[in-house]
Amino acid sequence: MGLNRRHDMPGRGNGQGKRESAGASAPSRRAARRRPKPADFRVIVIGASAGGVEALSRVISPLSPNFPAAIFVVLHISPSGPSLLPHILSRAGRIAAVHARDGLEITPGRIYVAPPDHHLLIKPGHMVVAHGPRENNARPAIDPLFRTAARSYGPWVVGVVLSGGLDDGTMGLMDVKRFGGVALVQDPDNAMFPSMPSSAIENVQVDRVLPVDEIGPLLDRLVREPLPADQGALNMARHQADEPDIAEVGNDELKTKNLDGPPSKFTCPECGGALWELQNGKLLRYRCHIGHGYTAESLMAAQGQRLEEALWSALRALEETAGMRRRMAARARKGSWELIAHRYEEQAKQAELRAGLVRSVLVEKIPGQTPEEAADAIQKTAAQARDWSAGKARPRQKVKVPPGPPKPPDPDSNLMNLQPLTQSSNGNSGGSGSRAGKVLKRRGAAERGQNGKKSEAH
């Protein structure tokens, strides 16, 4: 796994830092103390979603009180309610957990939790709490934490992906590996929701896949090893860390025209803007010019959510339309305007028919029916409704004739009581005693009467 790499901090032990600060003035020394110092400890970043509270508690509980690294945690939570995760993690382990604050200095032996509805980002020596664009339909999102940690601390970062749905954290774990960090993933068979760990394993060359109870002891051993000596990767990461992250300030690619990929035919579910398609290895991503980012899986989930919202809105509008038409019909009847009332009633029936179709899409499920079959049935029903509302005749149901020779009539059937039709002398069909003959005789008399009236007119 490459965890025994040594690292000698530049300028440590040679007195260079002391010589430079000895001749500096008091204001400059105070400014230097205020500037973030390069960390000489590891940074642990952990991402979790559904099922993540239990997994996080089991990872944190075995860590020792003198844990010589800083831990950052992102858990997908509701943006409106308060978060009790710091209290839960503090009780589960022996390390104090607090909500991250913007500009707070990073201290080892602490757990920093992303507050609700805010991204948690890591800069050299301090943290940033930002209300930037959502990523993967979440805020806080895991990818921005992993991405900024990798850019700020490079090979000193350990990224951990725990239980959760969809694939948030996969792209960020790619950045952790790209800058020389270590990638740990919970075993999907051990996770309550295996989608996030499975996506990370499929797309990233992870270092270890472990049951959740083995991650904490491994972290406790890992942070006590010498820091890696890959100074080039660290310098490259620090260079990119100076740039503002997209989760911090959004996206200005429309102004700079620095678009990373071709525009797609899809629109952002969050803001409605155009989405650009980005290919990163096997992972397909989309980002709009505002800054909202999605993987393909999270984009499909967001589209499904917006589609359901649109259908519920359509159902509400159709039912309100039907209710308003019936109210107007009742008022018209009070004024003896029957024609107008009838017109309102017909409009209400059409709105109720369409509302029923939308409701069937939302709530009705036929056992054993696949989604494709359900969609086809809904489309056929909608087409029939359009035809009937346009005045077209309803399609007749075809009678299926069983194969083989025709069966003889049932003696007890009413068909045996009908008399056969015969040709009478006056040209009319049917006997005088049969019902069919009487009907045809009356029809012939009516036709002769009409012909007589025409001849008299001439």
Q: Looking at residue 288, what is its pLDDT?
A: 84
DSSP state letter for 423: B
Q: What is the CATH number of the domain that holds 59?
A: 3.40.50.180
Is 274 in the same domain as 184? no
Is 232 in the same domain as 309? no
Higher pLDDT pick, 325 / 442: 325
Q: Other CB atoms closer than 10 Å to residue 160's CB: what's the count?
A: 31
Express as a percent the part of the chain with pLDDT over 70: 64
pLDDT tens, 277-326?
888 777 888 888 778 888 888 888 888 888 888 989 999 999 999 999 99
Choosing from 374, 389, 404, the residue where a domain stops is 389
Q: Kindly give the interhelix angle for 170-178 and 195-203, rounded to the nearest 10 degrees.
A: 40
Domain span at residue 326?
Answer: 304-389
Edge to edge, the sheet with strand 293-295 lists 263-267, 274-280, 283-288, 293-295
Give Cα separations from 265 to 167, 203, 272, 286, 293 (angstroms): 22, 25, 12, 11, 15
Is 316 in the same domain as 281? no
The strand pair at 274-280 and 263-267 is best described as antiparallel
Is 316 in the same domain as 204? no
Distance, in Å, from the CA atom of 73 to the CA atom of 48, rounded to the nearest integer, reads 8
pLDDT tens, 319-334?
999 999 999 999 999 9
The pLDDT of 399-418, averaged and rounded, is 52
Structural domain contains residue 106: yes
- Cα(first)–Cα(last) distance of the chain, in Å? 112
Structural domain contains residue 10: no
Q: Looking at residue 85, what is its pLDDT?
A: 96
Higher pLDDT pick, 432 / 124: 124
Structural domain contains residue 443: no
Most distant CA pair in the chain, distance:
137
pTM over 0.75: no
Is 94 in the same domain as 135? yes
Q: Which amino acid is at 89?
A: L
Q: Looking at residue 438, what is its pLDDT?
A: 57
Is 283 in the same domain as 309? no
Q: Looking at residue 81, what is its pLDDT?
A: 81
Structural domain contains residue 394: no
What is the pLDDT confidence band of residue 35, given thresholds at 50, 70 and 90?
A: very low
Q: Looking at residue 10, what is its pLDDT?
A: 34
Is 372 in the same domain as 330? yes
Q: In 3-state terms, what secondary structure has residue 285?
A: strand
Is 143 in the same domain as 272? no
Is 45 in the same domain as 163? yes
Tokens at 287, concatenated:
């980002």
> At residue 84, what are phi and psi to the nearest 5 degrees?
-100, 10
Choosing from 348, 363, 389, the residue where a domain stops is 389
Distance, in Å, from the CA atom of 435 to the CA atom of 199, rounded to the nearest integer, reads 77
Look at the chain and report how many structural domains it folds into: 3
As a whole number, the mean pLDDT across the chain is 77
Q: Looking at residue 356, what is its pLDDT?
A: 87
Is 114 in the same domain as 202? yes
Q: Looking at residue 182, what is its pLDDT?
A: 96
62-71, 216-225, 359-368: least confident range: 359-368
Choosing from 212, 227, 247, the residue where a domain stops is 247
Structural domain contains residue 195: yes
The pLDDT of 357-369, averaged and rounded, is 72
Q: Residue 174: how many CA atoms within 13 Å on its side-chain side?
A: 16
What is the pLDDT confidence band of residue 417, given thresholds at 50, 70 and 90?
A: very low
Q: Contact 110/137 with Cβ under 8 angstroms? A: no
Catalytic residue among 152, 163, 167, 168: 168
Q: Looking at residue 48, what is its pLDDT?
A: 97
Is residue 76 annotated as part of the catalytic site, yes or no?
A: yes
Higher pLDDT pick, 114 / 234: 114
Is 195 in the same domain as 240? yes
Structural domain contains residue 406: no
Structural domain contains residue 401: no
Structural domain contains residue 343: yes
Q: Contact 249/132 with Cβ under 8 angstroms? A: yes
Is residue 49 annotated as part of the catalytic site, yes or no?
A: yes
Is 242 in the same domain as 161? yes
* Tokens 């831990």 -> residue: 71
The pLDDT of 384-395, averaged and rounded, is 52
Does 7 score more than 60 pLDDT?
no
Catalytic residue among 76, 118, 119, 289: 76
Q: Looking at residue 23, what is its pLDDT?
A: 39
The pLDDT of 102-111, averaged and rounded, is 95
Residue 17's H or E segment, with its range, is helix 16-22
